[in-house]
Each structure stands twice: as structure tokens, then as C-alpha cells.
A = this chain, B = another copy of it.
């Protein structure tokens, strides 16, 4: 692995493990066994490392959102398809969990992250609205635009913070199991709301 990639990989692991606030670029260099000068040759400091990791996250997310659009376009797509896509989106959050465990502090320290977080949430919102709208159009769920908007906003909130909430609730399971649990809970609101609507019409969901 090239030194630049080693620095990014080690930084991500350290940030996810110990948080960003308490770590300096010098700490990262020490963990890698390289000199601070060597690290500064590749990155001007912690802000540039965080920004570069965020760029990688944006690229990953773009792929996952494209994948979700393709999955929901298939003729047999249903609520389970959406739950699987939410799980994949939550895997991305999990991989970059340092971003969501001290979000406010990070944005205060690195203000250029704010518009980038905004774009990420906006892209996720658009994707979730498209999934719900596609399912509604094919009678896989019964929801008008305003319900879809409200559900999508809740799901996007969950994509950022549901895993942190599970942490706080003391959910100590394996990461993959926790991601699956969070995705199930996010899909549950849509599913239950939909089932409630279906239950009153007698349509099979």
C-alpha cells in the first residue's frame, strides 16, 4: 500500500476508534511509525485528512445511490428491496462512523464540511423519496407525496444517527448485525405506516 493510502487507512481506523477531536496529525504519524514531516509531505494536516476521507465517502455514496436507483427500478422491487438498500447505505455510515459521532464539533472545526454534509443528506433524501415514490406508483405501498416526504426525512435522519442511537442504547452486537437492526428499524416506520394504511383498505401489502 502506498504511504498516502496507509495514512488514510490508519487515520480512518483511529478516528473511528478514538474520535477526531482528541487526535493530532502527529498522533497519526506516530501510530504509523512515520515522522510528522513525512505525513505533512502528503497532507497539510488533520483537516486535509478529514476532507480526503469525506471525498472517498462521497464517491462511495454516489455508487451506492446509483445502485439503489437501479435496484428499485426492477419490476419485482418491493419494500424488502428498499430495506436492503437502506442496509447498504447504513454500512457506509458505519464505515465512516467518526463523522456522525461528533458531527457538530467536526463542522465547527472544519466549516467546509457543512455544505458537503448538506449535499450528502440531500442526495440520500432524493434517493429515499424516489424509492418510496416508485413503490407507491407500483402499488407496493400506499402513500401520498406528503407522507413520502415525512417518511423520507425520518429515514435520512436515521441514516446519519440511528447507529449512534444504538450505541447509546447499549446495543453491543457485531457491527453487521447492528447495521441490519438499524436498517430494519428504519424500514419499520415506512412498513408499519404502510401496513396501517393497507389494513384499513383490505389491500394486501
Chain A: residues with CB nearer than 8 A to chain B? 18-22, 97-98, 100-105, 107-109, 114-115, 117-118, 121, 142-144, 146-147, 149-151, 153-154, 156-158, 160-162, 164-165, 167-170, 185, 188-189, 191-193, 195-197, 199-201
Contacts and interface: CB of A to CB of B under 8 A. Distances in A.
B102 A104 contact: yes
Given A19-B109, A121-B169, 12 more contacts: A21-B22, A22-B105, A102-B102, A117-B168, A146-B192, A153-B188, A154-B157, A157-B157, A157-B161, A157-B162, A161-B164, A197-B197
Contact of A185 (B22, B98, B104, B150): B150
Nearest to A125: B169
A118 B170 contact: yes
A153 B107 contact: no
Contact of A168 (B103, B169, B199): B103
